[in-house]
């Protein structure tokens, strides 16, 4: 089979699988359904692994669907383009879906009968959406798969229907994301009207042609840039578009959170990078400096907001959700540098983070299963009996803080170094954000699994989401903990470790990042033509400074955590806390109207910031 | 003024300002768009030529099911996913139970209207799907018309009549099979080495029912999928509205 044929196959396999599972699930018993869905997910992993292996490190696999190749640079068809960053991200999504299916084997009290195939079927459709979004080279096609990913994720978020909160979270998630997607569609419409093309490479080439003919960048291009990026930026939970994420993650079932935080949010950053690079990075697009500065500012803001809010949470899933916001901010910073090194750092970071974060959500699922609560304060010391999950939880927290040799540590080190070359103070943001998020999770782990310190006093003046009174996600108390619920998080953490330890992974992602930033090469491979040799791959080996900064942030995280659990519970909060943190907490109002207002405010700010720099 | 009020006021003002900025930007951008009704249609010209070359009389269907068939596969999967998702979210919760829908009084004229229109609408829907490759309409539109036909029974009679003529379990399975068959039909081209979703079937004569190769087949699959999906989707919502009631709590 041709390498190019693997691209559509990677989308078709889960789509077909979803249909088969939905039909067979009506009659098959639970193990049969799970086996069928797991087999489909495994087949997709195999397909994408083959695609990854067969793509050149600095090349691309190109598939013109339906055989509609362009003639003379113009065509009518859709193209799928896989460089190793795209296929790698699709592979990561496939691996996580497989992990989630295994994790959920005996986890859920899934409905059976006519509803039997629904949950695994939706997971497979989710995989198809993520895979299509990662592999497509067509702007409208990207929108379609973005919507598929969204529609399925909204439903999965609201899975627990007995409780009104999941439906509210899913509603906020759905409305904010759909509103942003329609803005993206508006932007795509503007670009289509201008160029008569829908393919990313074709639009980019057409804009460059116009620029060469003297019709350079105008208001339409700038407005289209902001509108098209609205969808992926909201998906990437960039501040101030991040409000939906904690609301959705706090209420979605744990296996779904593993996917949302582990890879879906990161796909938003990927979408921003891909669309900017192919469509807007040429002569007819926007100047690199303006885009870099704007996205860097957004990334730093997101990282800081996520980290500060993460430290404030006692609801474990909300805490992990805000830690995702913080880390996605860092990924955006690395990506916004627009250099191969920054992108390579983000790529390694994303791979490592997916393992660590999914493992932590999985372990939180264990707590929910045992105690029906995810409240840091209420669970104080109650989970002492869970030794192995406790140890894994602490390891996950340290991985989140960037402790070498975890993959998160390597990614952080590479991105940090690239960022430091751009702006000297950016590494401090990386260290602070990973220390705060890792520290918050470590603090919760020490309290819940270790019973360290005295139980915290309640502060009734601060309205907080406690995380008590959650519906346990499974029925049948008193049964033994299903083995996959420990084995899968352990395997995911091992994967995070492998990203940092196996030198091949980092180097492959570095070459992939160099190929990703090679716009001329992308246009030449897609539309025909020759391109100059690609830029050399950046260095992604461990460096002494990287290891030291990683150790520093892990040590800081440990210090924060121990200081917090040792703190006298009777002490009040400081003036600085009241002046900065409380207003920030109040902004997270949980009101849908506020979130939509922030969407408008953020987009207007983005537009003004870009125009001011032109 | 309380903190919350102040915050709300600030946010409202900021949102109004932002909306004004965005609206102004959109107007400025729209000024740069090509004029309405111009002679230049870069994509349209290429799409018409490509569609005619494949013996497709309906160019919209040629774009939907052939030239950009992969988009339609994604869109149709969104519908399939929405049916699965709605079914999952609207399943009977532990604190709900179903009650029998009651018979409802209907004017004889209304019933006559429904009885006349139902077969006519079914016929129209079937015609739209069958001629999707030739004339305006097609699987998506025809499928929705077919659904409308069934629901005339609800409008002109009552829910019990709709339930009797609506084989829900069959339609649910049909929906999934039709959705999967679209993805599977793409494999024909792949197996023949022409690429996924390639139109390798015999193209037939222009403007005949059997023309345009794969377009006609996919069009039919989409018609079946949309027709059954919308019935199932509406059934989930109608069940909630008509049949499902929260169980009274005994305290």
Any domain includes B238:
yes
pLDDT tens, residue by residue, A358-407: 999 999 999 988 888 899 988 998 999 999 999 999 999 999 999 999 99
Whether B67 and B24 map to the same domain: the answer is no
How many other CB atoms are there within 10 angstroms of residue B8's CB atom?
17
Query: CA A294 from chain center: how many Å?
Result: 20
Report chain A's terminal Cα–Cα distance, integer Å.
Answer: 48
Whether B121 and B218 map to the same domain: the answer is yes
pLDDT(A476) > 70: no
Residues A306, A315 contacting (CB under 8 angstroms)? no
Q: Which two tokens stand for residue A475?
A: 């029925």
Residue A411: closest CA among A541, A321, A302: A541
Any domain includes B208:
yes
Whether B178 and B119 map to the same domain: the answer is yes
Beta-carbon-side half-sphere exposure of residue A457 (alpha carbons within 13 Å): 11
Whether B171 and B226 map to the same domain: the answer is yes
Compute the average pLDDT of residues A578-601: 88
Compute the average pLDDT of residues A65-86: 90
Whether B121 and B7 map to the same domain: the answer is no
Any domain includes B45:
no
Chain A window 113-152: which residues touch B at a Cβ cutoff of 8 Å?
A: 114-115, 118-119, 121-122, 125, 128-129, 132, 140-141, 144-145, 147-148, 151-152
Q: Does B33 sit within 8 Å of A220, measured CB to CB?
A: yes
Residue A560: per-residue pLDDT: 95
How far apart (Å, rounded) are the C-alpha atoms in residues B114 and B116?
5
Report chain B's terminal Cα–Cα distance, integer Å.
Answer: 42
Compute the average pLDDT of residues B112-130: 94
Q: Does B93 sit within 8 Å of A148, measured CB to CB?
A: no
Any domain includes B124:
yes
Can you give the pTM of this predicted structure? 0.95
pLDDT(B251) > 50: no
pLDDT tens, residue by residue, B34-72: 888 888 888 888 999 999 988 889 999 999 999 999 999
How many other CB atoms are there within 10 angstroms of residue A384's CB atom?
11
Chain B window 206-245: which residues touch A at a Cβ cutoff of 8 Å?
A: none
Least confident of A165-174, A578-587, B119-128: A578-587
pLDDT(A461) > 70: no
How far apart (Å, rounded) are the C-alpha atoms in residues B69 and B198?
9
pLDDT tens, residue by residue, A90-111: 999 999 999 999 998 877 666 7
Quote the number of domains for chain B: 2
Quick check: bond before B105 cis, omega within 30? no
Compute the average pLDDT of residues A347-366: 96
pLDDT tens, residue by residue, A302-344: 999 999 999 999 999 999 999 999 999 999 999 999 999 999 9
How far apart (Å, rounded) are the C-alpha atoms in residues A40 and A55?
23
Whether B24 and B123 map to the same domain: the answer is no
Residue A509: per-residue pLDDT: 94
Q: Does A128 sit within 8 Å of B84, measured CB to CB?
A: no
Residue B101: per-residue pLDDT: 86
State the Cα torsion B221-B226-B228-B233 to the nearest 10°. Answer: 150
Residue A587: per-residue pLDDT: 86
Tokens 């430091």 -> residue: A420
Residue-by-residue DSSP string for B42-77: HHHHHHHHHHHHTT-S-HHHHIIIIITHHHHHHHHH
Closest CB from A23, A119, A152 relative to B173: A23
User: For chain A, percent helix, then strand, then coil, each to nearest 5?
Assistant: 70, 0, 25
Q: Does A66 sit within 8 Å of B67, measured CB to CB?
A: yes
Tokens 């200081």 -> residue: A563
Residue A493: per-residue pLDDT: 97
CA distance B94 to chain A (A): 7
Residue A94: per-residue pLDDT: 97
Whether B7 and B123 map to the same domain: the answer is no
pLDDT(A469) > 70: no
Residue A229: per-residue pLDDT: 97
Buried b (16+ CB within 10 A) or exposed e, B139-165: bbbbbbbbbbbbbbbbebbbbebbbee
Beta-carbon-side half-sphere exposure of residue B109 (alpha carbons within 13 Å): 0
Whether B14 and B77 map to the same domain: the answer is no
How far, in Å, are A165, A183, A585, B173 from residue A33 at the CA level?
Answer: 28, 38, 43, 16
Higher pLDDT, A576 or B133: B133
Tokens 């019709």 -> residue: A215
pLDDT(B202) > 70: yes
Compute the average pLDDT of residues A424-431: 95
pLDDT(A599) > 60: yes
- Contact list, B95 vs chain A (CB under 8 Å): 162
> How many residues does the structure list for chain A?
614
How far apart (Å, rounded) are the C-alpha atoms in residues B221 and B133?
13
Residue A470: per-residue pLDDT: 65
Residue A583: per-residue pLDDT: 84
How far, in Å, are A231, A362, A389, A428, B210 from residue A403 at the CA level?
Answer: 33, 20, 19, 16, 65
Q: Is B122 on the interface with A (CB under 8 A)?
A: no
Q: Which two tokens stand for residue B22?
A: 């965005």
Residue A544: per-residue pLDDT: 94
Beta-carbon-side half-sphere exposure of residue A11 (alpha carbons within 13 Å): 33
Whether B10 and B125 map to the same domain: the answer is no
State the Cα torsion A35-A37-A43-A45 to the nearest 10°. Answer: -110
Domain hosting B17: range is: 1-31
**Could you give the percent of chain B with pLDDT greater than 70?**
98
Residue A72: per-residue pLDDT: 75
Residue B104: per-residue pLDDT: 84
Q: Is A223 on the interface with B (CB under 8 A)?
A: yes
Any domain includes B47:
no
Residue A472: per-residue pLDDT: 59
Closest CB from B93, B180, B183 relative to A162: B93
Q: Does A68 sit within 8 Å of B50, measured CB to CB?
A: yes
Q: Is A173 on the interface with B (CB under 8 A)?
A: no
Phi and psi at B107, nearest 5°, equal: -65, 140
pLDDT(A55) > 70: yes
Residue pairs spanning A and B at CB distance below 8 A: 228
Residue-by-residue DSSP string for A506-521: HHHHHHHHHHHT-HHH
Tokens 């309405």 -> residue: B36
Residue-by-residue DSSP string for B178-243: HHHHHHHHHHHHHHTTS-TT---S---STTSTT-STHHHHHHHHHHHHHHHHHHHHHHHHHHHHHT
- Contact list, A132 vs chain B (CB under 8 Å): 74
Q: Does A218 sit within 8 Å of B71, measured CB to CB?
A: no
Quick check: bond before B231 cis, omega within 30? no
Per-residue pLDDT band for B4 (boundaries 50, 70, 90) equals confident
- Contact list, A78 vs chain B (CB under 8 Å): 68, 70-71
Closest CB from A66, A122, A608 relative to B69: A66
**Nearest residue of chain B to residue A23 (CA atoms):** B173
Whether B99 and B20 map to the same domain: the answer is no
How far apart (Å, rounded) are the C-alpha atoms in residues A503 and B88?
44
How far apart (Å, rounded) are the C-alpha atoms in residues A327 and A299?
9
Residue A346: closest CA among A509, A554, A133: A509
pLDDT(A50) > 90: yes
How far apart (Å, rounded) are the C-alpha atoms in residues A416 and A345?
8
Least confident of A58-62, A298-302, B19-23: A58-62
Whether B69 and B17 map to the same domain: the answer is no
Residue A516: closest CA among A525, A505, A503: A525
Any domain includes B42:
no
Whether B103 and B194 map to the same domain: the answer is yes
- Contact list, B170 vs chain A (CB under 8 Å): none
Any domain includes B44:
no
Residue B96: per-residue pLDDT: 84
Chain B window 14-33: which residues touch A at a Cβ cutoff of 8 Å?
A: 14-15, 17-19, 21-22, 25-26, 28-29, 31-33
Task: Calculate the average pLDDT of chain A.
Answer: 91
Tokens 């960053």 -> residue: A85
**Could you give the percent of chain B with pLDDT greater than 90?**
59
Any domain includes B80:
yes
pLDDT(A480) > 90: no
Phi-psi region of A78 (alpha: psi -120 to 50; beta: other; left: phi over 0): beta
pLDDT(A463) > 80: no
CA distance B39 to chain A (A): 13
How far apart (Å, rounded) are the C-alpha atoms in residues A190 and A185?
9
How far, in Å, are A598, A600, B36 from residue B17 at the CA level?
Answer: 12, 9, 30
Interface confidence (ipTM) of the complex: 0.94
Which of B12, B45, B84, B186 is the best residue to mutate to test the A interface, defined by the most A CB atoms within 10 Å of its own CB?
A: B84
Bridge partners of A355, per DSSP, are none
């Amino acid at each position: 089979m041709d390498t190019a044929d693997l691209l559509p196959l990677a989308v078709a396999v889960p789509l077909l699988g979803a249909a088969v599972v939905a039909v067979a699930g009506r009659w098959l018993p639970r193990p049969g359904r799970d086996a069928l869905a797991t087999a489909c997910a495994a087949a997709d992993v195999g397909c994408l692994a083959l695609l990854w292996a067969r793509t050149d490190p600095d090349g691309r696999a190109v598939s013109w669907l339906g055989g509609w190749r362009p003639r003379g640079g113009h065509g009518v068809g859709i193209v799928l383009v896989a460089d190793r960053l795209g296929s790698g991200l699709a592979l990561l999504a496939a691996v996580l879906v497989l992990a989630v299916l295994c994790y959920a084997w005996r986890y859920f009290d899934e409905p059976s009968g006519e509803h039997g195939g629904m949950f695994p079927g939706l997971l497979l459709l989710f995989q198809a959406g993520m895979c299509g979004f990662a592999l497509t080279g067509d702007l409208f096609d990207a929108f379609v798969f973005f919507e598929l990913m969204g529609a399925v994720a909204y439903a999965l978020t609201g899975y627990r229907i007995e409780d009104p909160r999941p439906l509210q979270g899913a509603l906020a998630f759905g409305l904010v994301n759909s509103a942003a997607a329609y803005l993206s569609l508006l932007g795509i419409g503007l670009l289509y009207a201008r160029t008569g093309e829908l393919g990313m490479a074709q639009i980019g080439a057409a804009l460059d042609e116009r620029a060469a003919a003297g019709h350079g960048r105008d208001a339409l291009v700038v407005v289209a840039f902001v509108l098209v990026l609205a969808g992926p930026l909201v998906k990437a939970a960039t501040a101030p578009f991040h409000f939906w994420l904690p609301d959705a993650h706090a209420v979605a079932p744990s296996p779904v959170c593993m996917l949302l935080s582990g890879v879906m949010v990161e796909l938003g950053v990927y979408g921003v990078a891909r669309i900017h690079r192919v469509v807007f990075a040429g002569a007819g697009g926007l100047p690199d400096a303006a885009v870099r500065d704007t996205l860097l500012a957004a990334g730093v803001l997101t990282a800081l907001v996520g980290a500060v809010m993460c430290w404030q949470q006692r609801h474990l899933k909300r805490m992990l959700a805000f830690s995702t916001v913080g880390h996605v901010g860092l990924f955006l910073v690395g990506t916004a540098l627009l250099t191969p090194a920054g992108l390579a750092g983000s790529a390694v970071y994303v791979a490592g983070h997916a393992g660590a974060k999914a493992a932590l959500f999985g372990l939180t699922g264990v707590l929910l299963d045992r105690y029906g609560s995810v409240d840091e304060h209420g669970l104080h010391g109650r989970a002492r009996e869970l030794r192995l999950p406790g140890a894994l939880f602490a390891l996950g927290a340290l991985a989140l803080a960037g402790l070498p040799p975890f993959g998160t540590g390597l990614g952080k080190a590479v991105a940090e170094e690239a960022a430091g070359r751009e702006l000297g103070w950016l590494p401090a943001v990386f260290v602070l954000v990973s220390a705060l998020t890792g520290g918050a999770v470590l603090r919760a782990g020490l309290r819940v699994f270790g019973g360290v310190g005295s139980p915290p006093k309640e502060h009734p003046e601060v309205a907080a989401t406690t995380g008590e009174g959650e519906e346990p996600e499974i029925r049948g108390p008193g049964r033994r903990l299903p083995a996959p619920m420990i084995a899968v998080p352990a395997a995911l953490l091992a994967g995070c470790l492998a990203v940092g330890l196996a030198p091949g992974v980092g180097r492959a992602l570095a070459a992939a990042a160099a190929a990703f930033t090679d716009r001329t090469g992308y246009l030449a491979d897609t539309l025909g033509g020759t391109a100059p040799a690609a830029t050399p791959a950046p260095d992604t080996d461990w460096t002494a400074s990287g290891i030291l900064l990683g150790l520093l942030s892990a040590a800081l995280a440990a210090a924060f955590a121990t200081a917090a659990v040792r703190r006298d519970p009777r002490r009040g909060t400081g003036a600085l806390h009241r002046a900065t943190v409380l207003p920030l907490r109040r902004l997270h109002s949980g009101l849908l109207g506020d979130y939509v207002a922030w969407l408008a405010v953020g987009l207007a700010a983005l537009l003004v910031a870009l125009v001011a720099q032109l | 003024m309380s903190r919350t009020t102040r915050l709300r006021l600030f946010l409202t003002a900021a949102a109004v300002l932002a909306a004004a900025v965005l609206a102004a930007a959109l107007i400025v951008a729209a000024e740069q768009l090509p004029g309405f009704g111009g002679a230049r249609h870069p994509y349209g010209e290429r799409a018409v030529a490509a569609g005619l070359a494949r013996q497709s009389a309906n160019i919209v269907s040629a774009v939907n099911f052939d030239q950009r068939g992969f988009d339609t596969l994604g869109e149709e999967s969104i519908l399939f996913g929405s049916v699965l998702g709605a079914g999952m979210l609207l399943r009977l919760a532990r604190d709900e139970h179903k009650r029998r829908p009651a018979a409802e009084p209907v004017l004889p004229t209304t019933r006559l209207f429904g009885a006349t229109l139902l077969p006519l609408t079914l016929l129209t829907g079937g015609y739209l799907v069958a001629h999707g490759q030739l004339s305006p309409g097609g699987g998506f539109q025809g499928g929705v018309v077919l659904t409308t036909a069934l629901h005339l029974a609800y409008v002109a009679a009552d829910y019990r009549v709709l339930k009797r003529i609506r084989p829900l379990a069959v339609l649910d399975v049909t929906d999934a099979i039709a959705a999967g068959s679209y993805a599977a039909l793409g494999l024909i081209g792949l197996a023949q080495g022409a690429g996924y979703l390639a139109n390798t079937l015999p193209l037939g004569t222009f403007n005949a029912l059997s023309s345009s190769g794969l377009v006609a087949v996919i069009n039919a699959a989409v018609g079946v999928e949309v027709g059954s999906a919308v019935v199932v989707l509406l059934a989930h919502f109608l069940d909630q509205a008509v049949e499902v009631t929260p169980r009274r709590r005994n305290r």
